[in-house]
Amino acid sequence: MVNQDIDPATLEARVPNLILQPLVENAIRHGIAMKLGSGRLDIRSRRQEANLHLEVQDDGPGLGAGAFVEKGVGLVNTRARLQQLYGAQHQFTIENAQAGGVLVTITIPFSGFDSHE
């Protein structure tokens, strides 16, 4: 099941093309696919002051102890793109979610199509 919790205030946000694609792919391949039965994928967006927060969360087994999550091509490329586009003005985190699974969060400056923010 895919659950989308998209804040209407973020619908006009400028987001790098396909920035969520490798995160969703990893959530399915390394999270949901590891479960017996169906799984859940949550995609969330919200605006907080001058920032846009994007989250992708699965309900898979989570990161094992000592997991090295930075080695995948998709994650390496995502981190590099964010660094190139936003420098120190972004955050990219990968962690075990409190309810189980993995939570990936991207925080970037909010910029809308219809304004000069």
H/E segment holding residue 3: strand 2-6
Could you report the per-residue pLDDT of 11-25, keeping only the tens digit for each?
Answer: 999 999 999 999 999
Averaged pLDDT score across all residues of the chain: 89
Nearest to 96 by CA among 65, 71, 52: 65
Structure confidence by residue, pLDDT tens digits, 39-61: 999 999 999 999 999 999 999 98
Distance between CA atoms of residues 103 and 5, nearest Å: 14
Does residue 111 register a pLDDT over 60? yes
Is residue 37 very low, low, confident or very high in pLDDT (cuts 50, 70, 90)?
Answer: confident
With a CB cutoff of 8 Å and minimum separation 6, the contacts of 21 are 74
**pLDDT over 90, % of the chain:** 73
Partners of 56 in beta bridges: 43, 104
Phi, psi at 23, each rounded to 5°: -70, -40
Domain ranges of the chain: 22-101
pLDDT band at 64; cut points 50, 70, 90: confident
Q: Exposed e or buried b for every residue in 11-43, given b needs 16+ CB within 10 A?
A: eebeeeeebbebbbebbbebbbeeeeeebbbbb
Q: What is the CA radius of gyration of the chain?
A: 14
69 vs 58, more confident? 58
Q: What is the pLDDT of residue 69?
A: 59
